[in-house]
Structure 1
Amino acid sequence: MPIYALTMLAAGFGIPLLAALNAALGQRMSSPAAAATILFCVALTATIAVLAVTGPAALARAAGAPRHLFLAGLFVAFYVLTVTWVAPKFGVGNAVFFVLLGQLVSAAAIDHFGLFTAQVSPLTFTRALGIGVMGIGVWITQQA
């Protein structure tokens, strides 16, 4: 379990870095869409390299996957485009703050209902309180 937590902690560090770097690139290029396109080209290259090492045969199974599972690509595109556009005007911290609040709420709902084959973890009072405390903590960090 600790490896999963550390891996996701590292991924969490990447979210504000992604936002700041791509926002700066979008400003430099005067186009959030162009910056997002470059980001996705770099990401595609990286994932193709990982896939080449881990086994490209898995791609063949995509044809049998339910089509709604491909919507994840639209969500990542929406995130990258919006954070690239919003962060320079609103601040990386503020942008990520609202992203975190959205993640807390949607993650709790996904876990509570076991959506998309997620492990069911009911939203108990204690869990809701913990999520609320996390949300308040994130909000506190954004106060001047």
Structure 2
Amino acid sequence: MLHYASIMLLAGIGIPLLAALNAALGVRIGSPAGAAAILFTVAFIAAGLVALLTGPQAILRAADAPRHLFLAGLLVAFYVLSITYVAPHFGIGNAVFFVLLGQLISAAIIDQFGLFGARPSPLTMTRATGIAVMALGVWITQKA
């Protein structure tokens, strides 16, 4: 479990870095969409190399996957486009705080109902309180 937590901690550290770097690129080139396209090109190459090294046959099995699972690609595109556009105007911290709040709400719903094959985990009063505390924290940061 610590291994998984460490990986996700690093991924979490990377989200604000991604936002700051891509927002700066978008400002530099004058196009958030252009910056997102560059990001996805680099990501595509990186993911393609990892897929080739770890078992390219998995890509072939994607043809048999339910089509709704490909919605994830649109969601990541929306995230990257929106953070690249919003962050220079709203601030990296503000943008990421709202992303985090949305992630907590969405994750709680997915876990509550075991959506998309997730292991069900009921929304207890403790978890709901944690989400409310996070929402309060976001609100406080906006008042500062």
Gaps of 5+ in 2: none
Distance in 1 between residues matched to 2:56 and 2:110, nearest whole Å: 29
Asked if the contact 1:97–1:142 (Cα under 8 Å) also holds between the matched residues in 2, the reply is no
Q: Which amino acid aligns with 2:17?
A: L
1:1-144 aligned within 5 A: 1-141=1-141, 143-144=143-144
Asked if the contact 2:26–2:33 (Cα under 8 Å) also holds between the matched residues in 1, the reply is yes
Asked if the contact 1:111–1:121 (Cα under 8 Å) also holds between the matched residues in 2, the reply is yes
Distance in 2 between residues matched to 1:143 and 1:46, nearest whole Å: 40
Q: CA deviation at 1:138?
A: 4.5
Asked if the contact 1:26–1:32 (Cα under 8 Å) also holds between the matched residues in 2, the reply is yes
Q: CA deviation at 1:132?
A: 2.1
Cα RMSD for the two superposed structures: 1.2
Distance in 2 between residues matched to 1:11 and 1:139, nearest whole Å: 24
Distance in 1 between residues matched to 2:70 and 2:99, nearest whole Å: 21
Q: Cα deviations across residues 93-114 of structure 1 (Å, max 9, x unaligned)?
A: 1111110111010000000011
Asked if the contact 2:112–2:120 (Cα under 8 Å) also holds between the matched residues in 1, the reply is yes
Q: How many residues align?
A: 144
**TM-score, with normalisation over the residues of structure 1?**
0.95
Asked if the contact 1:23–1:88 (Cα under 8 Å) also holds between the matched residues in 2, the reply is yes
